[in-house]
Every structure is written in C-alpha cells, then in structure tokens.
Structure 1
Amino acid sequence: METLDFGTAGAALTSVVAGVREDALDRPTPCTDWSVRELLAHVDGLLLAFRAAADKDLGPLTDTDPSRQALVLDEGWRERIPERVDALVRAWSAPEAWTGTTRAGGLELPAEVAGLVALDEVTLHGWDLARATGQEHRVDEATTKVVLGFATQTAEEQSPIFGPRVPVPDDASDFDRALGLAGRDPAWARP
C-alpha cells in the first residue's frame, strides 16, 4: 500500500485543539460517553500509540486496550497534542510504516490497517471536537475518500469499532456519509 498523507487531517485536528476554550472542557461530544476533556485525553493517548505503531516500537503504548485507559487530561495538553500530531504525521509518512505488521490497542494487525485506523481516528475525532466546541473542521477530498472507504468496509464487516450506523440523506456529502457509517450524526449539535 502507498503511504497516505496525514498532513491535512493532522492540521485540522491541531487547529481545532488550539480553538478549544477552557470553559468547553466539560461539554458533551458526539462520542456520547465522553466530554471534550475526556475526548482530548483519548486523542492525546492515541497519537502516541499510533506513532509507536508506525515506528514498530511495540510495547506498552501499542499493547494497551484504549477502553481500559483512564481518560485523564494532563496539564500541558495544548502544547503536547500538536507536537504529538506532528510526530504522528512524520511517522506515517515513512514508507516502512505501512509494511509488515504492527500492534495497536493490544491487537496485532497489518501495518496498512493500523495506518487507516490512525487516519480515521485523527479525522473523526477532529470532527467530534470541532462539533462539540463550535468550530469548523475541514479535511481534503483525498482524506475524505480514504475515511469513507474505511468506514464503508468497517460497516460492511460489522466491526464493533463504531457505534450503530446513523442514516444520512441520499444526497449527503462523502464526509457526512463517512460520519453516518461511523455511528455519528452529521447534524449533531451540542445541547
């Protein structure tokens, strides 16, 4: 598989993180069980784990089931998350990141699948944070195509990584279709 460009998705996530105000940290998100604070903590950890997966630096970062991690947002997240985004983008830009096998979330999987999951996580959670905090979230057409393809395949396989599908109109954009397949309502608005 050719390497995928994480640059646009990474830049979109970094922009959204920069726009999160302190008074928004306890707001709900489209990830129904998580507040903005908890979602930021999840993103903070997944950036490290998927960078390690790209580097084949197997160990605690790649072997920990994310559902078993406490979602505590440590101080310094505003500076740390953009640095981790940059490290993730660099790691997945290396052709060798996409070859062989690696681990993520305690599962061994083909490296190209780990890369798709990482891009999907960065893109969708960027959108989740943007919606919860009233910001814009834009990704390019190429990223949208990859995320839609991954969401379609995952939904067809009835994988448990997403919530139940959310119906979207027939004329929905490709990104909204991906959101629906990934269990998100493209029209979600914070209460």
Structure 2
Amino acid sequence: MDAASPLPDPRPFYERAADQMAALIDLATKDTLDRQTPCTEYDVQGLVSHVIAGTRRFVTVGEHGAAPAAADDAPDVPGDGLAEAYATERRKLAAAWADDAKLDTEVTVPWGTMPGRYALSGSVMETVTHAWDLSRTLGHPIPLDQELAAFALGTARQALPAEGREGLPFGPVVPVDPAETDAYVQLAGWLGRTP
C-alpha cells in the first residue's frame, strides 16, 4: 500500500465494519451455513470462519507488530458458535489497537511492512468485502453502509494493482459502471468478483 497517501484513523471504520459483519452473522441460520458465497472457496460457515481467523491475525499484528509466520487456519467453530467467536475476536482486536501510537508504528503483514494504519485499513477492506459476500448470499437482508464500502474501495485501489495480480488471491478486475452501481459492487468488481 502506498504509505505516502494519508489515511484517516481506520479504527472507527473497523468498528462499523465489525458491527455490520456481526449483524449479518446473526442472520445466518443452520439452513444457510452451506450456501456458496461469491468468495468461491467458501460457503457461509467457511467464510465466517475465515473472517474470524483474519480478525485473530490482526489481533496478533496489533499486539506484536507482525502477523503469524503461517496463515491461521480457519477455526473449527460450530455454526451456532460463529457469532460468539466473532464477537470475542473483534473485542480483542479493538483492545490490541487501542493505543494511538500503533497507527504510525511499522508492522509486518503478509503483503508487506507499513504503518499500522495502512495494515488495519486492509483488515477493514477484508471485513467490508466479506460482509458484501455474506449479504449477497443471504439475500441482502440489511442495508449495507456505503461509506464503509467507499473507504474499502479506496484502500483496495491503493493496495491492489489493476494489473499483475498473478499469485495474489484476487481475480482480474471486473469492469462495472460507477454511475450505475454502488460502492459495494465497485469494490467487488475491483477485487475480481462478478457482482
């Protein structure tokens, strides 16, 4: 991510993104856990487990300045425990990043070394993107926060090139018309999902 471009404090965006994600997790039922999501490697249960693992990874970054050497495996959480597991990890993340100094302290995440605010913005982007995945799979049961999507889209455009994505977990950009789509659809297209 280009650390020369200033970013606001991402923690308020993270809290809003986590609130939105938690609301969607609460709406997932045992009948929807095996539905395929737009994030093609995951069904609903797998996607939420992946979000929990990603949140846990950013707890470690906040506490120790670096992500674990190996990516955390998604936790084996039963479907009826997903909401509680996510609530626990997001509280830990908020505590790990509570010190303002961490925003400008260099941290190391899988995609590089950068000030904490840029790394945490990546976590916001992931949470917002997976909220769209979950919302779409569940039939868009709640309105999604467009300001969060705009923040995540700005982060995605800074962090992820349009070209040269070989080896990255994102497909080619799917063109969408910004005049006819909302920020979530634009974000999904930028990250290679078919909106």
Report the number of matched residues: 179
1:176 matches 2:185 = yes
Structure 2: segments with no counterpart, 5+ residues: 1-6
TM-score (norm 2): 0.79
Residue type of the alignment partner of 1:176:
V
Show the counterpart of 2:9. Answer: 3
AA aligned to 1:174 is A
3-state SS of the aligned residue for 1:103? strand
Residue of structure 1 equivalent to 2:4: none
Residues 32-78 of structure 1 deviation map (CA, whole Å, 9 limit, x = unaligned): 121111111111111111122122264xx622235xx3x45323322
8 Å contact kept, 2:28–2:138: yes
Partner of 1:12: 20
Q: How does 1:1-191 map to 2 (within 5 A)?
A: 1-4=7-10, 5=12, 6-56=14-64, 58=66, 62-65=68-71, 69=73, 71=74, 73-75=76-78, 76-105=81-110, 108-110=112-114, 111-134=116-139, 135-141=141-147, 143-153=148-158, 154-156=160-162, 158-159=164-165, 160-171=168-179, 172-186=181-195
In structure 1, C-alpha distance between the alignment counterparts of 2:133 and 2:28, rounded to whole Å: 12
Amino acid in the other structure paired with 1:78: A
Gaps (5+ residues) in structure 1?
187-191
Q: Secondary structure at the match of 1:22?
A: coil
CA RMSD, Structure 1 to Structure 2 (Å): 2.3
TM-score normalised by L of structure 1: 0.81
